[in-house]
Amino acid sequence: MEVLLVVHDWDRAPVRIEKIDDLVLDWTIYPRRDIDYSIVHRYAKALRAGSVFPPVKIGLFAGKKIIVDGVHRTESRRVLDIDYVDCAILPFESEAELFAEAVKCNSNHGRPFRPVDIKANIKRLKEYKFDVKDIVALTHVPASEIYREATAPIKVLKAPCGKNVYCNREPDVRELIQFKKALILIRNVARSGCIPDDALFRDLVKQCREALGKVRFNG
C-alpha cells in the first residue's frame, strides 16, 4: 500500500511543548485496547526521580493532535498533575497512514501487544487494504498468523474425509474449476507414486489421498 512508501522521520520532527489536554487519544488509531496503569505509575515514579523520556509522537490530522506513540508517558504526567509534555509532531495525509504508523511505533517498543491487540490491529489493517506483506512489516507478526487471524470463516463445508473446511466467502465457478483440476493433479501424482522428496508435500498427498478416495469427478 502506498502509505508504506511515506517515511516518517521522527528524529527530524520539530519538538515543542504541548498542553496535554490539547492532545487526542483516538481509540480508533491507538493500537492497544486499554491503558496499563501499572506502566503509567512506574513511569510517574521514574519522572519523580528525574528520568527524561523521549518526546511523545503526535500526528496532525483533520485538525487534531492525535497521539501516535506515548500514551503511557502522557498519562504518567497527568498522574503527577503536570500539564505539558514534549511532543514530536508530523503531519499525516490519511487515517490509514496514521494508524499504520501507530502500529509500527508501538510494536517496536513498550508493552508487547496482547493477542487481542494483534487480532484487532490485523483486522483494521486489512480493512485499510494493506496486504499480508505490509502487515508483516508493520506488526512483526508471521504471515501464517496473519492469515489465520485475518480470515474469518463465514461458511463451513464438509470435506469428503469428514473434516470441516472453513471458507471466508463463497467460491466462484472459476475457482471451483481450478480446485477440481488441482485435486485431480494431486490424485494422479499420488497414484503414480512419483512423490517429491518433501515432507510437506508427502503429508499433503496423504491427506488428499484420504479425501479423494471417496471423490468421483465427471469429465
Q: Which whole number is the average pLDDT over 112-123?
A: 88
SS (H, E, C) the chain: CHHHHCCCCHHHCCEEEEEHHHEECCCCCCCCCCCCHHHHHHHHHHHHCCCCCCCEEEEEECCEEEEEECHHHHHHHHHCCCCEEEEEEEECCCHHHHHHHHHHHHHHCCCCCCHHHHHHHHHHHHHCCCCHHHHHHHHCCCHHHHHHHHCCCCEEEECCCCCEEEECCCCCHHHHHHHHHHHHHHHHHHHHCCCCCCHHHHHHHHHHHHHHCCCCCCC
Q: Are residues 125 and 112 in the same domain?
A: yes
Residue 217 lies inside a defined structural domain of this protein: no
CATH of the domain at 110: 3.90.1530.10
Sheet holding 23-24, edge to edge: 15-19, 84-91, 56-61, 64-69, 23-24
Domain identity same for 38 and 127: yes
Here the cell at position 79 is 498522574
Strand-strand pairing, 155-158 and 164-167: antiparallel
Res 37: pLDDT: 92
Task: Tell me whether residue 136 is in a domain.
Answer: yes
Question: Does 139 share its domain with 160?
Answer: no
Average pLDDT over residues 201-215: 58
pLDDT for 117 beyond 80: yes
- Report yes or no on 57 lying in a domain: yes
- Is 145 a domain residue? yes
In the structure, what pLDDT confidence band is assigned to residue 142 with cuts at 50, 70 and 90? confident
Q: Is residue 196 part of a domain?
A: yes
Please tell me whether residues 120 and 19 are part of one structural domain. yes
The C-alpha angle with vertex 132 and arms to 126 and 137, in degrees rounded to 5, equals 105
Q: How confident is the model at residue 3 (pLDDT cuts 50, 70, 90)?
A: low
Residue 219 lies in a domain: no
Question: Under a CB-based contact definition with an 8 Å cutoff, are residues 76 and 41 in contact?
Answer: yes
Q: Is the dihedral of CA 182, 185, 190, 191 positive or negative?
A: positive
Residues 52 and 142 in one domain: yes
Span between the terminal Cα atoms of the chain, in Å: 42
84 lies in some domain: yes
For the chain, the domain total comes to 2
CA distance readout (Å), 84 to 13, 21, 103, 119:
18, 8, 25, 33
Mean pLDDT across the chain, nearest whole number?
A: 80
pLDDT value at 66 more than 90:
yes
Q: What is the mean pLDDT of residues 35-46?
A: 94
pLDDT for position 196: 60
189 and 138 within one domain: no
Confidence of residue 153 (pLDDT cuts 50, 70, 90): very low
Do both 123 and 169 map to the same domain? no
With pLDDT > 90 as the criterion, what percentage of the chain qualifies? Answer: 45
Structural domain of 91: 2-150
pLDDT of residue 215: 47
Residues 145 and 159 in one domain: no
**The pLDDT value given to residue 219:** 39
Q: Which of 107, 133, 150 finishes a domain?
A: 150
Could you tell me if 122 and 146 are in contact, meaning their C-beta atoms sit under 8 angstroms apart? yes
Residues 21 and 113 in one domain: yes
pTM: 0.65
At residue 218, the pLDDT reads: 44
Are 94 and 189 within one domain?
Answer: no
Confidence at residue 217, expressed as pLDDT on a 0 to 100 scale: 43
Structural contact between residues 80 and 48, judged by C-beta atoms closer than 8 angstroms: yes
Residues 180, 115 share a domain: no
One domain for residues 124 and 200: no
Domain membership flag for residue 27: yes
